[in-house]
Amino acid sequence: MSRKSNMILRNMILILLLITISIIKPPLSRPGDQAISLKEAIRRAYPAALAWRKSSELAYAVSTEPGKNVAEGNKGINGRKTDWNIVFTDVMSGQNLWVAVRNGQPEYSHEVSMGHTNPIKSSDLRYDSISVISILKSGQHWDRPAKIHFELIYNQSPLLRVYQTNRDAGTTITWIDPRSGHIVLNRNGTVN
């Protein structure tokens, strides 16, 4: 083969190799691209709950980052996370539907018995994960976190717990009333 033929063949192989790699390996996306707020995660999960039971209501929500290194991914410092678990309840049966939101989109759901039977009304969520960050920063409750985790629970009334983990692995837990934005409890400690 001539030198020109070898060069063309080599270039064709290189192009085919690059095409193969691009097909096999999806393009990298920045970790924060799909990060959404608590309210947005609930809104996106709600159609799965309605398909499960027309009378389903929100019962619990928690941000998750399974298997992700603290140094990578979205750390929640802006009030947005990529992964959420949203739990809905059917008050009549006591059953729960768990909807996993991954990379900002509902990925799967399962009917489970979790004991979350007290519904949380959407009108009780006046303050979202984004707005509670502003509340924490405006007072003396900002711990310069390396990572933030959110949990919406019902404990006699709806409460939004914010876990701030600092660089020394110390954790500050702040309980916020999502209806009023008032800080109910703020304490330092470790979470096991």
Gap between the Cα atoms of 31 and 41, Å rounded: 16
Strand bridging mode 83-90 / 95-102: antiparallel
Q: pLDDT per position in the chain (192 positions), as tens?
A: 677 676 677 656 656 544 555 455 444 334 445 899 999 999 999 999 999 999 999 999 999 975 555 455 558 889 999 999 999 999 888 899 999 999 999 999 999 888 778 899 989 999 999 999 999 888 777 777 888 999 999 988 999 999 988 877 788 899 999 999 999 887 775 443
pLDDT score for 124? 92
Gap between the Cα atoms of 162 and 184, Å rounded: 11
Tokens of 79: 């009030």
pLDDT score for 26? 42
Which sign does the torsion angle of CA 135, 138, 140, 141 carry? positive
